[in-house]
Amino acid sequence: MQLLDVAAADFAARFDALVNARREADADVADAVRAIIARVRDEGDAALKDLTARFDKHDLDATGWRVEAAEMDAALAGLAPDLRAALELAADRIAAYHASQRPQDRDETDAAGVRLGARWNAVDAAGLYVPGGRAAYPSSVLMNAIPAKVAGVERIVIVTPTPGGEINPLVLAAAKIAGVSEVWRIGGAQAIAALAYGTERIAPVDVIVGPGNAWVAEAKRQLYGVVGIDMVAGPSEIVVVADGKNDPEWIAADLLSQAEHDPTSQSILFTDDDCFSGQVATAIERQIPLLGTSAVARESWDANGAIITVQSLEAAMPLVNRLAPEHLQLAVDDPDALFAKVRHAGSVFMGRMTPEAVGDYVAGPNHVLPTGRRARFSSGLSVLDFMKRTSFLALDRASLNAIGPAAVALANAEGLPAHANSVANRLGNGPANQGD
């Protein structure tokens, strides 16, 4: 953990280093991924069977390619009642929040008599990657699948690696609650390729979302354009802006809730109170050994944690904007005053009673958020990621006569005579059966 003080002579240099630090390793898997994609495209299911045997150590013909409906029903039925209620509360709140994201269609006629507008449609099919192992979170299934459902996507497909054939029942229960019935036991770059191009068994999709390892991320990048994809995801991060009136134990737990995700996660505290910064650092040291995730939290906090002392919390906000954090907690009495100065952040958690973790699960907004300073230019996952807009125009003779000559002039200036003809043909007083 680093301690920085905005008044120190070396602050600017140290803060620059913090902003520019790259916590993501560049895995050099591009060529290997390219080869996997080509095989799946050419050989379809045969390639999936072979690659799954090699990487996930099971035979798809033996374990089953697709998870049976009975297995999903059993997973849901086997949930402890409080967990089932929690997942259902989360699903309802996520659906309610995302329903308000559905965009409005437009259809209007302007002063020139030109009718113009835009209409939104859902994509036909969406694929959701669910990682195996440490990151197989049922909450992520809800956060990725429900916006697609709310958008109106008719077919939602989950792919997930099941090493040795084993699958997390919590993931299946969450899929069932989210209304997803098509789940395939495949993972890695081969699963992304199967979703993009389709195979004999698996129909292709239009958009692929969800987190994954370096192979999955590289496969999505290479297939971007063949399908739509969500933003590249990196290690998660939190910035907490807190005055000295907070309980240091609370803020310590908030910082550790990011640190426990992964050794590359990052937790940063800005405070205007020297005494408080020491109390939080002490509380963190006391809490870490008590966590079941202590090894990960330790490594993350030591390597990437920071406490930054500032002269005022307002003055911290330009620094926060440079970090453009995924999560930003404003633990003060008047968070709106600070929020007004936020330009770049994935999601903001306002006030002392809004820990980031409540947003990870049940609050409603999406927890798939831009990391690694990408909040400068991108947004959390939303209904819009599963929809697309078709613009439209309708002119009549009068409106074409009004604006068409300008189009003819520009087409000629650009050296495109058929463009000019296409408009010019219709100008003036044409035959009575055309367009009146």
| Ordered alpha helix ranges (H), 179-238 | 188-197, 214-223
Residues found in the chain:
436
Catalytic residue among 58, 326, 356, 367: 326
**Residues of span 394-423 touching a copy of itself by CB under 8 A:** 394-397, 399-400, 403-407, 409-411, 413-423
366-385 residues near a copy of itself, rule: CB under 8 A: 366, 369-370, 372, 374-380, 382, 384
Q: Which is nearer to a copy of itself, 157 or 363 (CB)?
A: 363
Check binding of 207 to a copy of itself (CB under 8 A): yes
Instruction: Please give the Cα distance from 328 to 168 (Å, whole number).
Output: 31
Residue 213 assigned ligand-binding role: yes
Is 344 an annotated catalytic residue?
no
Q: Using CB under 8 A, which residues numbered 37 to 76 contact a copy of itself?
A: none
> What tokens were used for 393?
């125009």
State which of residues 5, 43, 45, 247 lies at the interface with a copy of itself (CB under 8 A). Answer: 247
Task: Give 290-299 contacts, CB < 8 A, sequence gap 24+.
Answer: 291/256, 291/260, 293/260, 296/259, 296/260, 296/261, 296/262, 296/263, 297/256, 297/259, 297/260, 299/263
Closest to 379 in 3D by CA, of 349, 346, 356, 348: 346
Among 26, 62, 100, 200, binds a copy of itself (CB under 8 A): 100
Instruction: Establish whether 137 is an annotated binding residue.
Output: no
Residue 115 or residue 201: which is nearer to a copy of itself going by CB? Answer: 115
Looking at beta carbons only, is 60 or 254 nearer to a copy of itself? 254
Q: How many angstroms separate the Cα of 386 from the Cα of each of 38, 348, 400?
A: 26, 23, 35
Candidate list 212, 335, 338, 383; residue touching a copy of itself; CB under 8 A: 335
Q: Is 379 annotated as a binding residue?
A: no
Tokens 């694929």 — which residue? Answer: 127
- Using CB under 8 A as the binding rule, whether residue 132 contacts a copy of itself is answered as no
Active site residue 218: no
Q: Indicate the SS3 state at residue 224.
A: strand
CA distance readout (Å), 419 to 134, 161, 163, 400, 409? 57, 51, 57, 14, 10
Q: Which amino acid is at 365?
A: P
Which of positions 149-188 make contact with a copy of itself (CB under 8 A)? 170
Amino acid at 4: L
Instruction: Give CA–CA dist 199/203, Å, rounded.
Output: 6
| 3-state SS string for 111-124 | CCCCEEEEEEEECC
By CB under 8 A, which span of 11-19, 67-75, 81-89, 309-317 interacts with a copy of itself? 81-89
Q: Is 388 in the site for a copy of itself (CB under 8 A)?
A: yes
Residue closer to a copy of itself (CB basis): 58 or 367: 367
Q: Can residue 425 be called a binding residue for a copy of itself (CB under 8 A)?
A: yes
Tokens, residue 127 = 């694929």
Instruction: Pull the structure tokens for residue 362.
Output: 């049940």
Of 287, 299, 303, 314, the one binding a copy of itself (CB under 8 A) is 287
User: Does residue 348 touch a copy of itself according to CB under 8 A?
Assistant: yes
- Which among 204, 130, 143, 206 is positioned nearest to 169, based on CA atoms? 130
- For residue 388, the cross-strand partners are 121
**End-to-end CA separation in angstroms for the chain:** 74
Count, residues near a copy of itself per rule CB under 8 A: 132
The reply, when asked if residue 190 is annotated as ligand binding, is yes
Query: Binding to a copy of itself by residue 194, rule CB under 8 A?
Result: no
Q: Which of 13, 27, 46, 83 is in the footprint of a copy of itself by CB under 8 A? A: 83
- Residue 350 binds a copy of itself (CB under 8 A): yes
Single out the residue of 45, 67, 123, 90 nearest to residue 387, CA to CA.
123
3 lies in the binding site for a copy of itself (CB under 8 A):
no
Q: At its nearest, how many Å lie between a copy of itself and the CB of residue 42? A: 14
Active-site position among 58, 182, 260, 327: 327
Catalytic site positions: 326-327
Q: Which residues are annotated as a binding site?
A: 129, 190, 213, 236, 258, 261, 327, 360, 414, 419
Q: Which residues are annotated as a binding site for substrate?
A: 236, 258, 261, 327, 360, 414, 419
